[in-house]
Structure 1
Amino acid sequence: MLSELLQSTVGDFLYYIGFQVEYTLVRLARLLTAATRWLLRTLGGLLVLALRPAALALPELRRTLRSPRRLAGLLLPLVAAAGTAALVRTVLDLPYVLRVEANGQVVGYVASETVFDNARADVLARVRSARELLAAAGRQLDWDIEPSYTLTIHDGTMTESEIANGILRISGNKITEATAVYIDDELRYVTTEGDHLRSYLNQIKRPWEDPTSQTTRVSFAHGLRLVDGVYLTDSVTGYGDILAALQADDGALQTVQVTRTVVETQEIGYDTLTQEDPDMDFGKSETIQAGVPGSQTVTHRLLYENGVLIDDRVVAVEVQQAPTPEIIRRGTRLKSGMIGKLGTGTFIWPVPDYRSISRWADPNPNIPGHHRGVDITAPAGTPIYASDSGTVVEVVPMHYSWGNYVKIDHGNGYATLYAHMSRYVVSVGDTVSQGQVIGYVGSTGDSTGNHCHFEMAYNDVLFSARDVFPDMPIKNTG
């Protein structure tokens, strides 16, 4: 009986579990089906909205394609826009030039108004040269031609010189093939012996020319140059007269100018950066980054006249390798008793690594014969530092008593003196900062051993350094 009851209970329980699982799965399936239907309806609605304008336009497009008049109305604006663009491009690509005319005749074509203006100026210069020569002979030149230009389309153009020659050819005056001599960009002479004159000038330049160099340019200092062309016959000057003019004033017009470009590599020095370290003892330092020089190329343009350098100009600088700065860490930590204040002055012990005192100043150091300062014993070569910032007012070599010594005026009534140095590294007038090395311990002058004699004064009255550094030992000769 108990067994049957247990089996019935277990069966009911399993049936309940199965029913709940099946019911849950059915609910999930129904929910997924509903969500899928909602998504499809939404996407369908969006698709209809997107395609609605096109669908509505299809009938209109179909009617337009069936009607030639409507089709033409649609295509004509597009064709007109394309045609306009092609026309603009074609017009812009046409070779527009200036047609030059003189005396009613076409001389030729030039690319721009600038070319025309330069050619016209060249013609007037040639005419002016002829007029000057004729005026000297009491004659006049009849010249009334005035070139002009109009815009046109043409494939070929001429240079300034070619247009100038053409204008002269149709001027009705006597012309000849000749060579113009320009000096400082001004037409000065015209000769029919251009080949001879060119050979003469080339001989003058030849000693300065270097055919193997691509950076050397040889010319005449006064812009002396020859231009072949057509010139008025009345403007021709005799060859001998031109040579005489060029050779006048010791040949100043024949001065040869040589321009040479030189590129050199230079070293760039590195900077030294000092980082103060309060955790390192004063007076000690170490290099934490070695300095490395950099390099740069410097382009010089050298200008010579008849072999004499008259100008050296830097025209370009290009850094090849930037320098690496040297970084030095310097200690600023002072040991106990090595810094003190008195009035407005703040001082540091001048030999920070050493506290040995062989002798303090006498009780009244201002009395003649009394000891004036404190003697700090230290090995020869030990750095001596400025006790405070100020200006060096005395630097005396080999004083009979103090030997090599330095005196600093601190600008607030205080002054300090450092004696018996083996050597000093400052000069009178130098501005020094507190803690700057000013010299090294020695035994010069009236001294029996290596030490730094240190004096302190206020308004020229001496006082004992012990008033500033009371923590120093009274006396320690060890």
Structure 2
Amino acid sequence: MALKFVRGQGDGQAESGEGQKADNTHSPDNKSKWLVNYKDRLYRLSYYTGVQLMRFGKRIRRHAVAAVLDAQDWLLEQSAETRERAAYARISLRRTLEQEFFSPVRAFRARVKELRAEYDSAKSQGGDQMESFLAATSQELWAETRKVLGITFNYVAPLGAAALLFVTITTVNSFSFGLKVEYNSKVVGYVRSEADFEVAQAEMKKRIIYEDYIQPEDAVPRFTMAIVNDKDIISTNDLTDRLIESSGNELQEAYGLYIDNQFMGATTDGDSLLENLNARLEEYSTGAKDEKVSFVKDVQVREGLYPLTSIVDLRNIESELDKDESEERIYTVQKGDAPTLIAQKYDMRYSDLKELNPEIETELFVGQEVLISRSVPFLGVQVTKTVTETEDIPYEIEQVTDNSYNEGFTKVSVKGQTGEKEVTSQITYVDGVETERIVLDSRVVKEPVTQKVIVGGNKPLSYIPTSGGTNNGGFIWPVGGNGGYVSCRIWGYSGHTGVDIASQPGTPIYAAAAGQVVTAQYWGGAYGHYVKISHGNGLYTLYAHNSKLYVNPGDYVEQGQLIAAMGRTGRATGNHCHFEIINNGRYLDPLQYVG
């Protein structure tokens, strides 16, 4: 998304930290501070009281509406007698109005018509008759007029008062309360609260970090509560401009760059600054659907007044943006190091170390350079995109024992097939490196087919080991060539469940006894490439850290058959075969059972 010019942080947004620190530098004396705080409390009390009155009015109105509805329900439920009484009351009211208002008014109008006729007659007869008419009727006409006016006023006055009250309330509600700000003996504008002034004052001091601040003669702000229109309230950015104008510094319209609300400098060439920033975003944009490209940090270009010495060459700003926030760190492997130990040395997660060095579990030798942390650009770019990928679903292996075959017999009755699934993920990259992956949806396209293997079970093995400690358990030495040497016995350290037999890389590894291969795969954890063979009745052997595997799951192997080549895959610091004998979940010492 392309960056645009902005005008400040918005109205009413208070900052912490530097803005508060700036306020302490120019604090008023105790009396002025007391007056400011008193006015602020009075303003807040007035606001709180008004809110409470509005809430009280709403509650009264709700109760009144509820009472009217209840009364209406009650009236509807009353008998015909009650309805007759209500009708009688309406008739009485109509009669009262007729007698007290309408009849006097009609009588007055009729009398006026009579007087007009008498007036016309007197006028036609001459002056004496006219004077006599006026003298006789003036007093009567005035008395009737007063009577009608009195009746009219009694009815119209309450309605007029209600209308006047409504107009007054509507007018008052349209008013807004604010604070008039005086700074350096000048009225700089109106704000909602003192917090807005503190934000503007902090922003002003950010813009003058490149020069000595010219202190105004009167730097103590004065606040006066006032009734204002909403259009009179100015934004914090406009207030910042007006405060800078009052400071006495030489100013110029420019475009300031802010990163995480930290002022980096200003330039008069705002268009070029925006082009440079947007070009950095475009570098990582691929145009994919739903792709979002943005800076890791909050970046804003704000238009406003800036002191001349805060305006720098655009190339200086670009050079600051090109710097690295943290440098690359390298560790050289020492004798006795292991991947987990290196992670512990730098107090980092093992998964993070492996992500930086994908081959560290299979290749780790003295003198090797290990990446501890990458260099991080000051202005990193984050890309978020939605990606749909196809992944394999591994098939399972099911063994079916058939006693019609001797032990050691194996046959694949149903061949396993790998399944497929469509996985939709939201992936986040920072500077081209994946940092987060969230799975949004997963849909199975093709179900895996379980491989079924028939295993003979007619005769149990005759070489089940005993605990007598003799070397006649029926197993042969698994390492070929010169046989190697034992580099670490079982339980040589915590969690070491087998014996390590070291030799040259590529040395052949043989099956210590006949059986069926249940596992032949690469494990990204400790074992690396390993083979596990079942010998029946809960007895297994395991061969780990191999460089190559020559068997597959489900294969039947004879004793002494080649199954792998020695290596150092997984968590290994040298070429060796990690050899285990497992009897019903219990780890046995191989040296007690190998003949």
Same fold, TM-score > 0.5, yes or no:
no
Higher strand share: 1
Rg larger for: 1
The TM-score with structure 2 as length reference comes to 0.37
| Larger relative contact order (CA 8 Å, sep ≥ 6) | 2
The TM-score with structure 1 as length reference comes to 0.45
